[in-house]
Structure 1
Amino acid sequence: MFLSVNSELWRKVSAETALELQLLFEKWRLLLAGIVFQYIHGLAARGVHYLHRPGPLLQDMGFMALPELGQDKGYLSETVFTSIFISFLLWSFHPFIYHSKRFYTVLLWRRVLAFLVASQFLRIITFYSTQLPGPNYHCREGSKLATLPPPNNVLEVLLINFPRGVLFGCGDLIFSSHMIFTLVFVRTYHKYGSRRLIKLFAWLMAVIQSLLIIASRKHYTVDVVVAWYTVNLVVFFVDKNLPEMPDRTSGSSLLPVSTKDKDDRTNEELHKPEKDSKMKDEFHKLLNGNTVDSTDRRQRLQMNGKHGEDINHTLSDATPNGT
């Protein structure tokens, strides 16, 4: 029994992998562009750190309203973010195992990367426009990490000191990158997920994440507020202009992705009016209790006395010169 279940699961995973790979081979360029932009975004964040100058904290309503968690509890917001990230990642690959197939994983991540790239592009523009003094502890006056010394070579900039350079960056404030990922993931699950309770819980986690970021003093409140309306607007407009993904539970499919299948679909669409006409004829035949075609029906009517004469008369009147 156990071997039978494992064999069935393996067949399902293999079939799903083959299907997703077929999509990946066609969509890899856009996926690769989205992944490469993640590095560009990290490079931009590293670059603005060289421009950052520490200063007194700005007046912030969130800082007044929320108690400061302290440097030793900064991990709380990172823990929530990591939980959201890993949960979404695992959910996006669940069609490989479970029977509920509401989307293709490749197409889902293609969509997610489009949302991330558009939001991150706007983020780069905003934090390079004006550099604010960072509220995080390592960005304040007196910290050695608050200002980076000029780079010794280009390679030092290109390597972005990963992951330390990402974790201890300064200057990339408006708007929060953590909230970009969180809101994109939550909105995507809200649209393509199937559990209402999880959707409500996901939005609750997004709110908690926002409060923890402010309480940890990793961002100003404005960074979080701007992220909430900017990311939601970006996702709304980008999603509206992208072709909708098929709902696999309804049996529809975005495939074919091969040229042969595309030609088959094109031929099917070209012959659709002809097929519809034939279906209507068959429907009328069934209603009339007949299974013969219209030509045979006309010939039989013509052989039935008066009805045949009436029809012949009508046909002769409708034909020029009586022929």
Structure 2
Amino acid sequence: MTLYIGREASKLWKRVCAETTTEINLLADNWKYILTGLILQYIHGLAARGVHYLHRPGPTLQDAGFFLLPELGEDKAYISETVFTFAFLSFVMWTFHPFIFKSKKIYTVLVWCRVLAFLVASQFLRIITFYSTQLPGPNYHCREGSKLARLPHPESVFEVLLINFPRGITHGCGDLIFSSHMIFTLVFVLTYQKYGTKRCIKQLGWLIAVVQSFLIIASRKHYTVDVTVAWYTVNLVVFFLDKKLPELPDRTGGASFLLPLSTRDKDSKTKEESHKLLNGNSVDPADWRQRTQVNGKTLDDANLVHADATAMNGA
């Protein structure tokens, strides 16, 4: 038993090391996209905090979802955040599963490049909408009488730039249309829908997205319009961007093509190509046609037919 565990641990370690090398090479080529996406996430946080300074509390607007769904109450608002946290962490762990499991279909770095592109595009549209019109927040801390409903004028620029994470994110007001929680949830579900392999998990993902929508409204964190707009906007953004972005490479052929060739590998490859040329084979794997020698000359299939015709006429 000890020998078996040691052998499997050794295999797992080799797998992790090989995958880490591959992902580091990918990160070296795509770090600009990852860094840009993370910076834009920070800018989105700044925009959400900035609109909080403009927020003016008022009566809660008439909303169909508020009539249909019972109010959970301030003491049960954590349920919505718990479901979102579960979905968020589950997706993050799935994107890193190639480091451990044998069945690998994705590259972690490339998946996050696509995810960040979807998030940034959706959040850019979100910033435009919630700065266009500031609605009175329906959340409990955004209502009249709450000290958090209006932020005092900032004393310095650094006070705005720090964002006050995570409280500044969870207790924001004014950034309503459309829901940021639904942006993340739908982007994660749509990504797994395309690259995931388990059908039951795909169905569970869509179920979580629907439940999350109801919980957000029942918790009075957003109006129904915020959730509704998120559903069709995020799906449209992912649909159009997915056609523009380069597709992920297929992992069924292995990941060796992503790794740099060592000097020994390059010499071996050069010798192999020279050997193919001496045997009359093309270096291009797509054109490995056998050549035939006639009168000391190497001929391919087309020239061979011409040579046979000439020989017959001469006879």
Q: Same fold by TM (over 0.5)?
A: yes
Paired position in structure 2 for 1:28: 31
Matched-pair contact (CA < 8 Å) for 1:246–1:254: no
Q: Report the AA paired with residue 100 of structure 1.
A: S
Aligned to 1:136: 139
Aligned match of 1:51: 54
Which of 195, 200, 219 in structure 1 is aligned with 2:198? 195
Task: State which drifts further: 207-216 or 2-11.
Answer: 2-11
Taking the aligned partners of 1:214 and 1:164, their CA distance within structure 2 comes to: 20
SS at match of 2:258: coil
Matched ranges for 1:82-161 at <5 A: 82-161=85-164
Q: Residue 293 in 1 paired to residue 290 in 2? A: no
Structure 1 equivalent of residue 247 of structure 2 = 244
Note the alpha carbon deviations across 1:114-172, whole angstroms, 9 max, x for none.
11111111111110000000010110111111111111111111111221111110000
Any conservation in 1 of the 2:21–2:259 contact (CA below 8 Å)? Answer: no
What amino acid does structure 1 have at the position aligned with 2:114? R
Normalised by the size of structure 2, how large is the TM-score?
A: 0.85
Q: 2:302 — aligned with what?
A: none
Q: Which runs of 5+ in 1 are unaligned?
A: 283-291, 299-307, 317-323
Map 1:53-68; keep pairs closer than 5 Å: 53-68=56-71
Match of 2:288 in 1: 279
Residue from 179, 183, 199 that aligns with 1:180: 183
Structure 1 residue ranges (4+ consecutive) displaced by more than 4 angstroms after TM superposition: 271-278, 294-298, 308-313
CA contact (8 A) 1:134 1:140 kept: yes
Q: CA separation in 2, counterparts of 1:155 and 1:219? A: 29
**Counterpart in 2 of 1:207?**
210
Matched, 1:74 2:73: no
Q: Cα distance 1:229–1:253, how it changes in 2: closer, same or farther (>3 A)?
A: farther
Deviations for 1:249-304, whole angstroms, at most 9, x for unmatched residues?
2447773678x99xx9xxx9xx998747863456xxxxxxxxx5355799xxxxxx
Q: Which has the larger radius of gyration?
A: 1
Partner of 2:12: 9
Q: 1:274 to 1:61 in 2, by over 3 A?
A: same
> Secondary structure at 1:293's aligned position in 2?
strand
Match of 2:222, as an amino acid?
A: H
Letter in structure 1 aligned against 2:191: T
Letter in 1 for 2:43: I
User: In the alignment, what sits opposite 1:165?
Assistant: 168
1:286 alignment partner in structure 2: none
Residue matched to 1:320? none
Segment drifting more, 2-11 vs 249-258: 249-258
Q: Give the residue type in structure 2 aligned to 1:30.
A: Y
Which residue type is aligned with residue 100 of structure 2?
I
- RMSD of the alignment, in Å? 2.8
- For residue 293 of structure 1, what is the amino acid of its counterpart? Q
Distance change >3 Å, CA 232–CA 276, structure 1 → 2: same
Q: How has the CA–CA distance of structure 1 residues 118 and 273 changed in structure 2, closer, same or farther, with 3 Å as cutoff?
A: farther
Q: Aligned pairs, how many?
A: 290
Which residue type is aligned with residue 288 of structure 2?
Answer: M
C-alpha distance in 2 between matches for 1:32 and 1:147: 32
Q: What one-letter code is carried by the residue in structure 2 that aligns with 1:123? A: R
CA contact (8 A) 2:25 2:259 kept: no
